[in-house]
């Protein structure tokens, strides 16, 4: 087995607070100067192996490599067949001979963990069923861009305790800020992510709170975040989830409880009229499309960190 000393990014728990600060600083620099003149990743390449469709993850990583002087190759599900056409271990060892890093977007998080165990090059979690660390890194970056570097920032997350929520938990804990999560009963984030975030928070001074009432979560918050109620792969649960999440819609009435200068975040794609209303996502407090752009800058910083391209 290989990869024991290889730096991966399969979870935000892979980072130390200092790592996060370095990445945020580099992302800010790359947002100001999107195409570095020195092309720090010239001659470097990544493979993107995706089991799920993607807009933001695929395009942002492809353009990140273009901006940094490198190349990205996309491999569709039928071309690889992880664990079906070929074993995960074999794919990891072959792909690692061709490229400098792999972005993996899968259904099962265990697939990413197994791939990383065998990969001789860095593996980036581009999304799994329980974790979305690239989104979590971006979320902390967007909050930093809009609310500054202070730790007196309160984030309210309203909705499903899903992969986005898990990574936001870890990201806010690393940043030392406050996070209030409101979910319906039975849809809370998994205990292992709450426990890991609590452990990080004890070191950074972050405050993490789970509440059942979205109004209590949003009251006086600086950031109000929501996500879809039904994620990819959960379509058969749509009606049950739609009923369970009644009262958790981010609308103008709920947003009015936040601070007047609060920003609205959503990782997209949005199910407009379900978890968020048009007037909120398109309104003056929305940072949603800045957040989407920030995927590009945060991931450029991540690639330079993993591949030694400066920053």
The verdict on residue 2 lying in a domain is: no
My answer on whether 153 and 273 are in the same domain is yes
CA distances from 98 to 102, 110, 216 (A): 10, 23, 51
Are residue 26 and residue 94 in the same domain, yes or no? yes
Structural domain contains residue 5: no
Phi-psi category of residue 69: left, alpha or beta, with phi > 0 → left and psi -120 to 50 → alpha: left
The answer on 120 and 86 residing in a single domain is yes
CATH number at residue 27: 3.40.50.1370
| pLDDT tens per residue, range 183-226 | 999 999 999 999 999 999 999 999 999 998 999 999 999 999 99
Do 156 and 240 lie in one domain? The reply is yes
- pTM of this prediction exceeds 0.85: yes
120 and 160 both lie in a single domain:
no
Question: What secondary structure letter does DSSP report for 55?
Answer: S
Q: Render pLDDT for 130-168 as a digit per residue (tens, 0 to 9).
A: 999 999 999 999 999 999 988 899 999 999 999 999 999
Quote the domain boundaries for residue 238: 135-291
- The answer to whether residues 282 and 157 belong to one domain is yes
User: In 10 A of CB 290, how many CB atoms?
Assistant: 14
CA distance 304 to 21: 14
Q: Are both 91 and 233 inside the same structural domain?
A: no
Tell me the C-alpha to C-alpha distance, in Å, between residue 227 and each of 175, 212, 249, 276.
Answer: 21, 16, 10, 8
Structural domains of the chain, count: 2
Helix (H, G, I), strand (E, B) or coil at 151: coil
Residues 116, 21, single domain; the answer is yes
What is the distance between the alpha carbons of residues 33 and 30, in angstroms, rounded to a whole number? 5
Does the pLDDT at position 82 exceed 90?
no
Let me know whether 144 and 268 are in one domain: yes
Give phi and psi for 82, each to the nearest 5: -55, 125
Q: Kindly state whether residue 209 falls inside one of the protein's structural domains.
A: yes
């Amino acid at each position: 087995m290989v990869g024991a000393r290889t730096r991966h990014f399969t979870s935000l728990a892979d980072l130390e607070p200092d790592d996060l600060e370095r990445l945020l600083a580099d992302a800010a620099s790359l947002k100001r100067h999107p195409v570095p003149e020195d092309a720090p990743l010239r001659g470097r390449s990544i493979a993107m192996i995706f089991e799920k469709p993607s807009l933001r993850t695929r395009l942002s990583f492809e353009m990140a490599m273009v901006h940094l002087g490198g190349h990205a190759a996309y491999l569709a599900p039928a071309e690889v067949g992880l664990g079906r056409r070929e074993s995960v271990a074999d794919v990891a060892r072959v792909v690692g001979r061709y490229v400098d890093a792999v972005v993996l977007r899968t259904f099962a998080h265990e697939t990413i963990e197994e791939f990383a165990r065998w990969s001789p090059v860095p593996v980036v979690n581009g999304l799994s069923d329980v974790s979305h660390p690239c989104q979590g890194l971006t979320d902390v970056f967007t909050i930093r861009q809009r609310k500054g570097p202070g730790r007196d920032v309160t984030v309210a997350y309203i909705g499903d305790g899903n992969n986005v929520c898990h990574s936001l938990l870890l990201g806010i804990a690393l940043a030392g800020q406050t996070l209030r999560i409101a979910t319906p009963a039975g849809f809370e984030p998994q205990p292992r992510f709450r426990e890991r975030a609590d452990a990080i928070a004890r070191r950074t001074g972050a405050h993490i709170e789970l509440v059942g009432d979205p109004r209590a979560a949003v009251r006086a918050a600086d950031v109000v975040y929501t996500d879809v109620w039904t994620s990819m792969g959960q379509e058969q649960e749509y009606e049950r989830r739609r009923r369970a999440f009644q009262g958790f819609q981010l609308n103008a009435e709920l947003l009015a409880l936040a601070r007047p200068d609060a920003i609205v975040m959503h990782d997209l794609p949005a199910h407009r009229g379900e978890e968020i209303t048009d007037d909120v996502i398109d309104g003056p407090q929305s940072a949603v499309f800045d957040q989407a752009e920030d995927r590009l800058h945060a991931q450029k910083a991540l690639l330079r960190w993993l591949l030694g391209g400066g920053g």
